[in-house]
Structure 1
Amino acid sequence: MSRWLTEAVPRGRVAAFRTLIYLFVTADLVIFTPWVRTRVSVPGELYQPLLIGRVLQLPTPTSALVAVIFWSLLVLALLAATGRAPRLLGWAVCALYLEWMFIAMSYGKVDHDRFGLLIALAVLPTAGRARHGDTTRTEAGGWALRVTQIAVICTYFLAAWAKLRFGGLDWVTGSVLARAIIRRGTDLADLIAQVPYLLIVAQFGIVAFELLSPVVFLLPPRWRLAMVGFFYSFHAITIATITISFAPHLAAMTSFLPLERVRPLVWARRLAGRDTPGPATDASEPDPAGAGTEPVPLGQAPVGASAERAPLGDQAPVLGRPAGP
């Protein structure tokens, strides 16, 4: 079990995942959850902190507190995305984002799609230093990715458990998706809803795939990637039909992917090198035509060189031998 939990992965994968997660935190602040800043306009008596907030006795959000958290988190997450000071910046981002989520979720609604992202932020500081493109393997980084993967799958499995626990069989046989389409459905959803019993079949399928999601850990690597691709396609359909985004969950799910192969900066440099012609020769790089050749004595042609390059009579004498025949 411990070997599975700490299965070594390339450091480049850890570096890419770290950059992606911290960049998503910055995007989350300005795109997905900027509404958290409006919580300061809500009366303080409506603030009902979550259990951890009550245990830690976190203060009621104020305009100053939310502004400090927002700007500090924005700057620190961008710095953490560079990979510098992974522990110091990582723990700081984790603490600030956790407080950001406490503020967001303490007014009556808790989103379960944040679980994998929060776990990723909690374990990334333990992965240590990692550079993009580094192929050396790390068990600490493997543990961080594995724990994030477990959190992602728990999100699916526990969601199905909650559906059956609180909704029972009525969740799969009722009109859950029909109500969602009425409230926030798209034109594509309206077309799907016209097919008899298709929504009921879809509800059975959703619960089935969520309950079976742990199977992903039992599959060989190629089939595991295929199943993760199915997860992504499911969320693409969800966005296209009922406009529900699981963006934080999708970001955490990249822990399953071989991210070390995705190197946009390297690709950009190569593209720029193709578009911009370089000098004919570069003193800092060896000449490909002469790569691997050794220095030769004065007057002796290199191995493989044509004799026409220096006629015999024009050759300078080799040290210790007279010129000419």
Structure 2
Amino acid sequence: MGQVVKWLFEPVPRGRIAAFRTLVYLFVAADMVVFTPWVRAHADTPGSLYQPLRIGRLLPLPTPTALIVHTVFWVLLVVTLLAATGRAPRLLGWTVFLLYFEWMIIAMSYGKVDHDRFGFLVALAVLPTVGRARHGDPELSEAGGWALRVTQIAVICTYFLASWAKLRIGGPHWMTSSVLAQAIIRRGTPLADLIASVPGLLIVSQFGIIMFELLSPLVFAVPRRLRGWVVAFFYMFHLATFATITISFMPHLIAMTSFLPLEKVRPIVWARRRFSSTPPLGEPLAAVPAEPATSPGGG
């Protein structure tokens, strides 16, 4: 039991939490404006079409109206941009989580439910528990380690439970079905058409998907020095998915950065170093000291 607790609370640099927090909150804004702008259209959707998810029925949450949808959108957009700065991490963090949670209820209560939001929602729920964290801070934090570990577990559960759902609903026949062929017909790319033309390759791919998802928890068992390569393989899997059937899983990919040493990625510091190495235009170069004169014949 002690080893499990130690693993769950393995400390990480606070700078990693600060970088992860900024990335997550900036993505909330990007998601609302760029990736899923269609959610705002529910402001004009008749309330009779609203079929809330179970959590929406248990709370219960109100049927979305134009006032509710637009209010949640603008308040969440402002608050998440403020939260990305690191100010008031608990107050703004909890506010972002609650508003984005409601935003997802509005998005997914009209017949379409995406499973790529699970790990991201967990990240939003646990980040406010960490408190203050500054970019580049090397101080270790057990609370930060717990927040990242819980997010990692949610990311891997997304894979494992997806395979469980495939086998529970479709049975073993899912692996020999035409599910990928149907996806390519609906939203395939030229690359997908090339793959589909190879006999048996789609069936092999479906077996590979099931094996990949079922074995994904092994990422926690591989040595630390190899874990980065496993996570890179996860990203390559999603790159291939997007290149063939244009499904991006962006919220999931953002949550998966919880596996990465994000504290090493500091674009502002890099920019300062880059531009500080060259004197500003019009500023004279520093004088180069003259070498001391040597006497004739001197060494």
What TM bracket, shorter-length normalisation? over 0.9
Q: Check if 1:197 corresponds to 2:200.
A: yes
Task: Provide the rounded CA distance (Å) in 1 between the counterparts of 2:16 and 2:168.
Answer: 38
User: Which of the residues 9, 26, 46 maps onto 1:23?
Assistant: 26
- Give the corresponding residue for 1:172: 175
Task: Report the Cα offset of residue 232 of structure 1.
Answer: 0.2
- Give the corresponding residue for 1:5: 8
Q: Check if 1:145 corresponds to 2:148.
A: yes
SS in 1 for 2:119: helix
Task: Provide the rounded CA distance (Å) in 2 between the counterparts of 1:82 and 1:276.
Answer: 29
CA RMSD of aligned residues (A): 1.4
Equivalent position amino acid for 1:71 in 2: W
User: Which of the residues 160, 177, 184 maps onto 1:157?
Assistant: 160
SS in 1 for 2:61: coil
Task: Provide the rounded CA distance (Å) in 2 between the counterparts of 1:33 and 1:55.
Answer: 25
Contact 2:14–2:133 (CA under 8 A) maintained in structure 1:
yes
Equivalent position amino acid for 1:184 in 2: R
SS in 2 for 1:212: helix
Matches within 5 A, 1:242-261: 242-261=245-264
- Give the corresponding residue for 2:82: 79
Matches within 5 A, 1:1-325: 1-277=4-280
**Looking at both structures, which has the greater relative contact order when contacts are Cα pairs under 8 Å and sequence separation is at least 6?**
2
Task: Provide the rounded CA distance (Å) in 2 between the counterparts of 1:199 and 1:273.
Answer: 53
Q: Which structure has the larger Rg over C-alpha atoms?
A: 1
What TM-score, normalized by structure 2, do the two folds share? 0.93
SS in 1 for 2:167: helix
Contact 2:116–2:158 (CA under 8 A) maintained in structure 1:
yes
Equivalent position amino acid for 2:183 in 1: A
Task: Provide the rounded CA distance (Å) in 1 between the counterparts of 2:136 and 2:156.
Answer: 27
What TM-score, normalized by structure 1, do the two folds share? 0.85
Equivalent position amino acid for 2:37 in 1: P
Task: Provide the rounded CA distance (Å) in 2 between the counterparts of 1:36 and 1:175.
Answer: 31
Equivalent position amino acid for 1:239 in 2: F
Task: Provide the rounded CA distance (Å) in 2 between the counterparts of 1:146 and 1:276.
Answer: 44
Equivalent position amino acid for 2:98 in 1: A
> Taking every aligned residue pair, what percent have the same amino acid on both sides?
71
Task: Report the Cα offset of residue 40 of structure 1.
Answer: 2.1
Structure 1, unaligned runs of 5 or more: 282-288, 290-305, 309-325
Task: Report the Cα offset of residue 279 of structure 1.
Answer: 6.8
- Give the corresponding residue for 1:286: none
Equivalent position amino acid for 1:2 in 2: V
Task: Provide the rounded CA distance (Å) in 2 between the counterparts of 1:79 and 1:152.
Answer: 26
Structure 1 segments (4+ residues) deviating >3 Å? 277-281
SS in 2 for 1:151: helix
- Give the corresponding residue for 1:301: none
Equivalent position amino acid for 2:40 in 1: R
Task: Provide the rounded CA distance (Å) in 1 between the counterparts of 2:36 and 2:25.
Answer: 15
